[in-house]
Amino acid sequence: MSDDREKAEAARAGRRKDGLPFKEGNTREDGSYAVGKYRTPESGKFAVGDGRKRGRRAKGVRNVDSDFEEEFNRRVTVTEGGKKRSVSKGRASIIRLLDNGYSKGQTAAIIEIDRRHQRLLEKKAASQQRTVEADAALLEAYIKEMLGQTSAGPHLLGDPEEGGEPSACGEAEGTDEEQSDED
Which long-range CB contacts under 8 A does 30-39 form with residues at least 24 apart? none
Query: What is the rounded distance in angstroms from the CA atom of residue 112 to the CA atom of residue 96?
Result: 12
pTM (predicted TM-score): 0.38
| Helices 107-147 and 89-98: angle between axes, nearest 10 degrees | 110
Q: Tell me: the pLDDT tens digits for 98-116?
A: 888 888 888 888 888 888 8
> For residue 177, is it within any domain?
no
Higher pLDDT, 73 or 175: 73
Looking at the structure of the chain, the number of domains it has is: 2
Q: Do both 25 and 76 map to the same domain? A: no
Count of all residues that appear for the chain in the document? 183
Q: Do both 89 and 26 map to the same domain? A: no
Range of the domain at 77: 72-145
